[in-house]
Structure 1
Amino acid sequence: MRRRIRILNVRGNNNSGYFIYQAVMAGTIFTSLLNAQDYTASNSYDLYEVSSIEELNDVVGEKYFKLSSFLVKKNSKTSYTTARTSGRSNDRLNISLFIALPFEKSNTVWYGIEYKASMSNYLSEAEKNRTYRKFMDSWEIQFNHNNVYGARYFEKLRHSDELDGYVNAIQLRYPKLDRQDLTILIPHKDAFTERSNNSLGWTFGSFAIGSFIFFIMVLVPQINEDELKRLKSGRPSKDDDLKEILRALNPMGEYKGTALLVWINIFAFLVMIVMGINIISPTGHELLAIGGSRKEEVLNGEYWRLLTSVFIHGGALHLLMNIMGLGLSGFVLEEKLGQHKLILSFLACGLLASLSSFYFNNNVVSVGASGAIFGLFGIILAFTVIKVFDSQVRRFIWMILIFYAGVSLVLGTLIGGIDNAAHFGGLISGFVIGYFLMLAYNKKSIDPK
């Protein structure tokens, strides 16, 4: 369909507007698959009845259980709290409190209860602390009135953020217990037949709605006869943005250095996913565990974090923004520096940005390639000041600096949650590196060879 929608004259210009059509198709497929996944995950298992909690250790591959009889040690609870940001610009702060209760006659099967609260991330620290204390007081009241024996069935948690929360709660009190041996059961007080929440109907309904919207969108524009002839004859499209992007991201292609850096960042993020870390808003604890940088750990001799943190990202949106910035700056610089000097410049700027964050921040987990990318922008800025590029390229570069670097710095100042120390450190170090590169190459031009 990506090729076929190009026969449409979108707004009279066949080189723009296709992204909206592709977004509607992708959104329709994604929504339908999400509902289908929810239905499949809920309805692929039957309700398995066991007479006692000890029998659970002999049951493999089941998800839902009905316990004939059980006892819970409510006074032996242990807890663990997480805080994650969500929403556009991370405007919400979501708190989750995981309470784990041991079952009688078992130290590996636990009863899980979760309490949640949400607040604006724009509140002052004093207001956040008051809201948090109010939440901590309220859950105690709810817990004391919670009938733990009112569950109609239990759900065994698979690998998820919720499972990690309960396991962390248990290991805070019982650190010798192996997390691989722990089983968390979540109580459900509704009927077992209501577990799917009409997700099957929404699977087909969302696809029908998206398809209808796309059908209406197809009827609006005129047909591009030249592109239609190309499609029928089997000739390649005159303009294909996706092929251009894929060609640019080929590690063996024209922009080897930029492509390699992009794929290293993507690979590091895939490793995060495989490790089960939240891909939308990972916690500071999770980021620190996989190589994030913080002053305390670095002072204790873990200097490698200053470099590994450059390739770790705090969520999919963070990664996407940095890939865009890396692509824009890398493509501009690689023509002048060559692949090896580009990679070395990226690493040097990233390391110096991490050092800047280390110096100015105390209890902040620093992650992301943005400091190194700002360093590349600093090199570009030095080159524009010394007029390495022609006037047309310089105008394009200033647009990049305004819309990416400028906006990122402003958002970091107004919203928070962005390591401006690393950004400024990377930008300044990049400008200095760019200046010395110009001195080394006669202040006029750089030979990539």
Structure 2
Amino acid sequence: METYITKLKHILPTFFIIAFSTIIGLLLFRWLFVIQFDIIDIKEEVWCLWLPMGLPWIPILIWLRPRLRILTFKKDNDNGRFFFQFLSAGTIIASLLVSQNYLTTASGKLKELSTISDIDKIEKARYYKLKKFSVAPNYGGSFTDFRTSGKYNQDLNFDVYFVTPILKDTSETITDIPKYWYGVKFKEQISNKISTEEKERKYEAFYNECIDKMNKYDFHSLDHFERKPTSDDRQNFLKAIEARTKQTADENFIILEPIQERFEDRNGNKFAWIFGSFGIGLAVFLFALIWPGYSETERKRFLTGKKPKQDDLLDMLNYLVPKGDHFATSIILDLNIIVFLLMIFSGIHIISPNGIELLHWGANRRLETSGGEWWRLFTSMFLHGGIMHLLLNIYGLVIAAIFVEPLLGRKKYFILYILSGLCGSLASIWWYPNTISVGASGAIFGLYGAILGLLLTNAFPKEGKKSIFMMIGIYVGINLLWGLTGGIDNAAHIGGLLSGALIGIILYKLDDGKKNGI
């Protein structure tokens, strides 16, 4: 019992400080700079999803992780301590998600309007009750947002957005582009592994079903309207307006989405669940803390400020600093991460950016690339279709780089990486007529191809070739087989793999020839 209390005293205060400062800090920051004074205009998904999901990890890794070193486990590894980091983050994330959602609904004001034009005469609000209005369905427009989802992009999502102008009454005629629009959204999810023809059939059937629903839609069946804030949904509604008007829809357009539930019920039990979710997570954390052992040595080491000999997090961060045998790899990693962060801060979806967004940033597709935009063969190598795509490629790159860069040196390594990536991009547009391709996979498979090719030379010690072949061969084989299930650019993988094997051997032989005086 005494040991358990010692563990609590060492870990729990820091956990509470991190939790409360993160939750209260984000709430206050958003309320002050976004809701109260409208200084920062960032997509609502950032506040309600991405910041709650990512922000807690920073203080946990910096301040809580070192304190968890006092915990010992039967197997001497960091998996047990990572479980407590994950549990801590999960507890704070759950409370943040609920609290941000509560702030959204609780802070939203409701204004009553006599006619739609009154919306510009009163203080801006989140919710509106419109006493009298009419719509012009014949002037409506639509836009469909296609996005993949799932860990391996195994799902394809259709989000269909319909807009129609809101008028004062039936006597009003449309003489200019309307400013106020009624927005309706429909969703559907299908498998991303079926054929392109089957996807098109399913989409056509779903879209026709949506059209049928809109033809029968009761526009006056609602309790109140919600004014769409800066968000992915608002952007897509604006694209629906653009599809109808053939003109760019700017931020002056107002989109109102019907809400069926009563305004008084908008908060539900969210406030109670802020504390409920935190309490459940805390209870699990306290219960789990019973099982690990306790190291007094590590506690004294922490209190005296001594750093451990090995720190996986610092080792990982140091790998991003160009030096030694990973100089070139670090530069490539940094470029990929920086480009991804620029994409996210520009408003690109962090999980599943769509094809239009990726093409805007330089994705590779036969029509654009062969039409003169050959630079896409290069730029697409540094773009990624979501954070999971980026993380998987980082993992694959680091594993391959451990073998290749020390062997070839940074200059030849750069040459191998770039040329393999370009060959992968060329293979992609040669094989696929209309596929949008992004990612470093072609270049990374080039590194693996080089490893397999160099196994035919004396580049690796004879006694270690079998184990290297087994490890790399299995990795490559699994990824190629997975690519056959659909949703993955296997042409780029194969193009990079074959070209990497050839280029790797040539670069190695050139160096080997110089050593032998050839």
Task: Establish whether TM, by shorter chain, passes 0.5.
Answer: yes
Question: How do 1:207-246 and structure 2 match up within 5 A?
Answer: 207-246=278-317
Out of 129, 140, 147, the residue aligned to residue 77 of structure 1 is: 140
> Is contact 1:325–1:404 with CA below 8 Å preserved after alignment?
no
**C-alpha deviation, 1:335, in angstroms:** 2.1
- 1:397, distance to aligned residue in structure 2 (A): 4.2
- CA deviations 1:347-387 (Å, max 9, x no partner) are 22111110111111101001111111111112222333324
- The within-5 A match list for 1:14-413 is 14-57=77-120, 61-104=124-167, 107-125=178-196, 127-251=198-322, 255-390=326-461, 394=465, 397-398=468-469, 400-402=471-473, 404-413=475-484
- 2:322 partner SS: coil
The C-alpha deviation readout for 1:97-143, integer Å capped at 9, x for no partner, is 11010122661221100112223334455654443343233223322
Structure 1 residues 135 and 422 mapped into 2: Cα distance closer, same or farther (>3 Å)? Answer: same
Give 1:193's aligned amino acid: E
Q: Describe the shift of the 1:382–1:123 C-alpha distance in structure 2 as closer, same or farther (beyond 3 A).
A: closer
Structure 1 match to 2:486: 416
**Alpha-carbon distance, 1:395 to partner:** 6.2
Letter in 1 for 2:138: N
Paired with 1:241 and 1:318, the residues of 2 have a C-alpha distance of 22
AA aligned to 1:9 is T
Question: Which amino acid counterpart does residue 91 of structure 1 have in structure 2?
Answer: Q
Q: Secondary structure at the match of 2:372?
A: coil
CA contact (8 A) 1:161 1:277 kept: no
Deviation for aligned residue 1:83 = 2.4
Q: Is the 8 A contact 2:72 2:292 kept in 1?
A: yes
Matched, 1:426 2:496: yes
Contact in 1 for aligned 2:339/2:382 (Cα 8 Å) = yes
Corresponding letter in the other structure for 1:37: Q
CA deviations on 1:59-114 (whole Å, 9 max, x unpaired) are: 56532222232221122211112222223433332211110101226612211001
Change (3 A) 1:270 1:396: farther
Separation in 1, partners of 2:92, 2:409: 40
Q: 1:227: how far off?
A: 2.5
Does the alignment pair 1:442 with 2:512? yes
Give 1:54 deviation, angstroms.
Answer: 2.2
Q: SS in structure 1 opposite 2:148? A: strand
Distance 1:390 1:197, change over 3 A: farther
- % identical aligned pairs: 39
Q: Distance in 2 between matches of 1:193 and 1:260?
A: 54
Q: Is contact 2:412-2:507 (8 Å) kept?
A: no
The range that moved more, 395-404 or 72-81, is 395-404
Residues 61 and 246 (structure 1 numbering): CA distance in 2 closer, same or farther, change over 3 Å?
Answer: farther
Q: TM-score, normalised by structure 2?
A: 0.79
Which has the higher mean CA deviation after the structures are superposed, 66-75 or 95-104? 66-75
Change (3 A) 1:39 1:392: farther
The aligned amino acid for 2:487 is: G
Q: Distance in 2 between matches of 1:386 and 1:443?
A: 13
Deviations 1:379-429 (A, max 9, x none): 22233332423468656644652454332211101x211000000111111
- Residue type matched to 1:335 in 2? P
SS of residue paired to 1:114: strand
Deviation string 1:209-229 (CA, Å, 9 cap, x unpaired) is 222222222210222343333
Structure 1 contact 3–237 (Cα < 8 Å) conserved: no
Give SS of 1:95's match: strand
Counterparts in 2 of 1:445 and 1:245: CA distance versus 1, 3 Å: farther
Which deviates more from structure 2 when the two are superposed, residues 231-240 or residues 120-129? 120-129
Counterpart code for 1:257: A
Residue 426 of structure 1 aligns to which amino acid in structure 2? G
Gaps of 5+ in 1: none
- Residue pair 2:416, 2:504 contacting (<8 A) in 1 also: no
Q: 1:306 to 1:71 in 2, by over 3 A?
A: same
Q: Secondary structure at the match of 1:80?
A: strand
The residue type paired with residue 71 of structure 1 is S
> Does the CA contact (< 8 Å) of 2:241 and 2:249 recur in 1?
no
Give the residue type in structure 2 aligned to 1:100: V
Instruction: Name which of structure 1's ranges 9-18 and 342-351 shifts more when overlaid on structure 2.
Output: 9-18
Q: Which amino acid aligns with 1:209?
A: I
Aligned CA RMSD, in angstroms, stands at 2.5
- Greater Cα offset, 387-396 or 326-335: 387-396
Distance in 1 between the 2:315 and 2:467 partners? 19
Higher alpha-carbon deviation: 272-281 or 52-61: 52-61
Matched to 2:115, the amino acid is: S
Residue 284 and residue 177 in structure 1: after superposition, are their counterparts in 2 closer, same or farther (change >3 A)?
closer
Distance in 2, matches of 1:282 and 1:155, equals 25
